[in-house]
Structure 1
């Protein structure tokens, strides 16, 4: 961390590893870094595996800018593997996955900051300056949402069809909305996996939907606007992986 402390004192940024599978976006990030910090050196990787190979070959960045959607990454495990490889290096996540649930999970796992991919260059510089100074940075739009739990509306009051579910089906529906696979639901409720499948078939029929995703969308649309991200398949894949 000494390099970062020196950078904070001098207002400069040393070396950055950009992990993103879109070359044009990586190039744009590198250009923005050079404009903000002319002495900054950038290395690029288009997958987590490529980034880990760079680290194995001796690359030691002062900062990593990390995209969540990579070809060899499944959910939060990719971010966790990077943190294990570089436990003392701050990681700024820049992603199109912008749910407050995702931001909260990332910060809890040790991210140094979060920015949505459509953030303007001045916000990128603001984030980098905060991280170089030893502070965490979260896009202002997520400061409140990322640390608060939304109030859950009881199924009985959310939608007439949801009120028709049995207590066991309601428990299973909540775990579906949390992104849990059938095997995990069976484990948490102490049921056989075949029993869980039977309950899901029955609850889908009662709700008048075709699959788990449509059921989760129905629940999400029945919740207030502050209940962020339940129906986003990408968010659920990230949080449950």
Structure 2
């Protein structure tokens, strides 16, 4: 029977030692290597090509970016994020980066093994006590688009979005901003791309969620 090969990257020596011990006690698992810093993530994936790479995403540096590099460079390696950071945003960021498992350090050691086995079977795995919160966060796509979408809006795009939220039609927006209908339609296409929205309604919904915190820097005359 094929043993599941595992590599681990964690900057906490005690945690790393504990995981190594857990792996060592399981006859179905084989430890290929360990690391303690972000650069070790891609290095281990490339050199060892383990079935599973367990990564502490809270270590200094950008572990999320490293996970994305692993997924694109060595797609046979499946990443399980392992962290003490209890936060939906952290979980979503890890999963968006390419991790297919997310396990909290507060979980029992048997749950880490369960995650490894699930991921090898081609499933996704999230710590049971935390799964419902993460799934709810993943479902709120509008919220996930928020940070990337609004930060890049030009002054003109902000003005158009504000008028959209107020219920103005394209023709009314064109008249208010002294633009042609064609120009407003062009801006609408750009806004849908920036907000990953499929239609005008989704742009409005995304804008309404962001309005209080992000709009207001550029007011309409």
TM over 0.5: yes
Change (3 A) 1:29 1:149: closer
Match of 1:65 among 54, 58, 65: 54
CA-atom RMSD in angstroms:
3.1
1:187 aligned partner: 152
- Give TM-score, length-normalised by structure 1: 0.54
Structure with higher RCO (Cα < 8 A, 6+ apart)? 1
Q: Displacement of 1:88 after TM fit?
A: 2.1
Q: Displacement of 1:44 after TM fit?
A: 0.5
Matches within 5 A, 1:206-217: none
Q: Displacement of 1:116 after TM fit?
A: 0.5
Alpha-carbon distance in 1 for matches of 2:127, 2:134? 10
Alpha-carbon distance in 2 for matches of 1:143, 1:78? 24
Does residue 89 of structure 1 match 2:77?
yes
Alpha-carbon distance in 1 for matches of 2:119, 2:68? 19
Q: How many residues align?
A: 153
Determine if contact 2:45/2:53 at 8 Å carries over to the other structure: no
Does residue 30 of structure 1 match 2:15?
no
Change (3 A) 1:52 1:126: closer
2:132 aligned partner: 144
- Give TM-score, length-normalised by structure 2: 0.58
**Larger gyration radius, structure 1 or structure 2:** 2
SS at match of 2:86: coil
> Unaligned stretches of 5+ in structure 2?
157-221
Moved over 4 A (4+): none
